[in-house]
Structure 1
């Protein structure tokens, strides 16, 4: 018989050092069977024949005990480990343990990364949602039974206006009287602006709660009740005119531009408690018509005439002083008295017998937003001046104006309301951005030959002479102002500032239509054609046939001045007023 081959090489019989079983009889076991059975030992590496006897360890039976320093373990890819009973246990190799450790570490990294990603997404989502809802209604907010989440201020104003318009009461008195009225008819004023702001600020107590769609908040409609107007509607609708109890009131009179007191009277009046309660219910759930029943009671004049007179006086104090808005740069807006009167809202309370003054905040705000910019904005105008060679400004040919752009009209509206409430009316400076005007200068030189153009008017000789610097260019006969009644031509240095190719000239006691070639240099004094005064020009007869102060000229001469002497041209008027013709 031959030995069984394991791993491709023959295995020699166990020697004296090997043990087989527990009786130690290795020789007889080998002789009897001549075949070795190895338990669960892993296959050994292949060896060449030359290596077998020097490197190959003796095979180990399945039940053999191997000491901790056993030389077989390295060949079996097993690490020995001492157990409690002294036997050796074999665990996976170190390489296997390292691989397992690496896999665990990788899993931890992946889980951490996923958690970080989730947190990042949640944080970005929170800030994104907060930004999106910054100027919109928050999730979970409702108005009039409707979810308004995500609606803008503009959309909310439309919704509030719509619900306000569709809100009303169906009123009956149990005696056959019946009427359906809108809120405005009942003296109920809806503050749409305040309502919208309340919607936008709902759930603002906490940023996380604001964005929580499962936390709900219903916002009511902001209303104010003019009980005097409500009493008037109910009385006029349900009480016969002969039986009515009417409170004294005040009304603005357009003819006198004042509030006047109207006296009331005793009689029967409706009870308003049930109506005001219904209005409160409507404010909580607008957009519907609610039925309500009223009753009556006999009463004296609910508000006395003296109370109305006092209220009218208080209202008129707000109208006595004009309300002026300034832009800080010379621009002003005076608000018409009729407009101010519309903002004053008398509020009567027949139950208390009082009349108080309230003010239409929304109307004032709307007026300021529309009218302030339209009336107080101004474009920047560049100042243009003329300087001499020394840098001195000789004249300003175009006055500079600072630019003004009105902003933050809400602040000005608040100031208007504050003054109306206090009754102390003073000019208000609007909030505005100011653009300082620019300056453009032109330097002229009249003291050199062929310099800048200027004109000398000599009253003594009744001539006008044009110069280019010190160089005489042209001379013209003239007729100056009549030397009496203040019509004589003024002496001094002036500059041409306004010109007209044709103008109808008007003054005290005269009208001269279609005068050609007008060049003003001193207010209403200037060069112009005087077709009606050619003979006086020819003789230089200002003493008897002079003008109202202007320099009368032949048409071709006045045109030469117009064509060659632009705005900014210097004019010097010298000499003495003549007492007789000079030519």
Structure 2
């Protein structure tokens, strides 16, 4: 009897165990076509749902699809599913997720937090409608500004690769590819910059072509030329200026521009040449005045200075020197009164002259200058004593009959211009100064009394500046 009870007990336990096994297996078979408990797809609970349930949900989501496109400068566009007839496209992902479930672990799904699944749906669309929509995007219809590649730039010390400049020009093929991939994957955001839809500069700061151009340009920056001109602030041609004379084109071909050196030398001469220019000064009797014209003063030989400066740069030289001047075109000083402190001065208005030596007036005298008509006026300007001699015969212009307008012997002759103007004694003049020159003026010379002319002759030297002004 006892043995029978045990037997039935074991049979009952076996039946229960079989039922449990069958139930376990049956449930596992059920979850082969249904999602496990606590399963979420794209954040939505799909416990016990079939593939068709998830597909229906994705179809409904596709109908609401919108793609926001972020463009340059904060602009944006929107492409809606309705505009391009977007439809859900079966891609086998749902079936794949079902098959990947651990169906025999279904009891754990009841007690656990479940599993969150992410499904990227696919979509079909109207290609012509999409092409039209892409063509109407702001990125395509606004001005297409091309990007600018890195170019050599001077940083104050040397040429270095400069920053690129982003443009707004669109790479149409890249744009379409990015939009299509976004739509087919039902992405909701597309940043054109991150997607590489803008045309990129051909050369960046890291491009070897840019660095090679910088190296070639820097080879010209080794020279430094300091001009010794007695200025408070010296004129220096160094890398700062030379860098403006070297360029690289869009193909990184480096060009040194000698013509820009010539332009600089011309401007340099215009600024610092004094010959013929207006100078302000104070007369020995304390009056402020100015003088213009004449031949005396600094005058840079532009051709020779250009050639010298070009050679300095090409040889990478560091030198201190004076500019190359026109022969004979220098002065005593680089100051505003460039004739220095030793000179003769003639006041053509007041008919006075002075001779100043080392800043001290050694003599003054009344004079008679050129008659102010008939081309006989004494020329204003700054000149030099060109010739100094005694017993000079002064000859006027030739008359039609071959004779001279005048031939006059003077004791003391001090030439000021090559045209024949100079200081000399004029014993035929009965008086000097005042307004005598207006009715008994010379042919342009500075007439002096015999004694004054002799005194000046003893003081003045060839090369001394002569300032004649009104």
The interval holding the TM-score normalised by the smaller chain is under 0.3
Which of 1 and 2 has higher RCO (CA within 8 Å, sep 6+)? Answer: 2
Q: Give the strand-richer structure, 1 or 2.
A: 1
TM-score of the pair, normalised by structure 1? 0.23
User: What TM-score, normalized by structure 2, do the two folds share?
Assistant: 0.27
Q: Which has the larger radius of gyration?
A: 1
